Structure 1
């Protein structure tokens, strides 16, 4: 039985349309403003007809046959991606803390105690121990 425009839509139907709208935004057919407007209308929609109007000016998208994602830059062989991400996070957080420390030191006209060492030190030691003594492969279930 075909779905008539007056039939009530389910949450799964709205999620499917949201995925289609995201795909069209990723492909450049919708701006972020248009996407946000349609998404707002989407979650207020009650019927199939209201859902259909949100995508009526867009071509059909088969979400099952999407193009392959572009591969990220390869990481050194044997490096665990989670460990690389943890080191990057540590570096960014440490950098932000040092910038804050520098701003406070400059604006107070006095050299403030280097408290960022307490943030980056223990965290860095844990990461270093994980890097040196940890396994290089992620655990699989």
Structure 2
């Protein structure tokens, strides 16, 4: 029967190394590490073979939380939900009037299109996206 392996002696994967490297990037962004320290620690990450060696690289760092959604993103999401709700309500009223009064002037277009065009333009310009993330839409 083999002897149990201590948790610090378990070998690490590249995914674990990349995760810690991202933590170090956030530490640089937060001003906890300078670029020289970052470079040195990243080299140590990629030389590490076990969880114990990897833990030593970041043992002295405070917990750095993942940034939450920006105020711009929250505002754009709320505005989009309000716009969709009002547009849907106007479309339903138009359909009900059309069925009961047989009158089909598409007035709901004036409620849907102009604000929708403004919201679409703001989203396309990047308002509400995370800074430095051009792929997020």
For the aligned pair, the TM-score class normalised by the smaller chain equals: 0.3 to 0.5
TM-score (structure 1 length as normaliser):
0.45
TM-score (structure 2 length as normaliser):
0.47
The structure carrying a bigger helix percent of its residues is 2
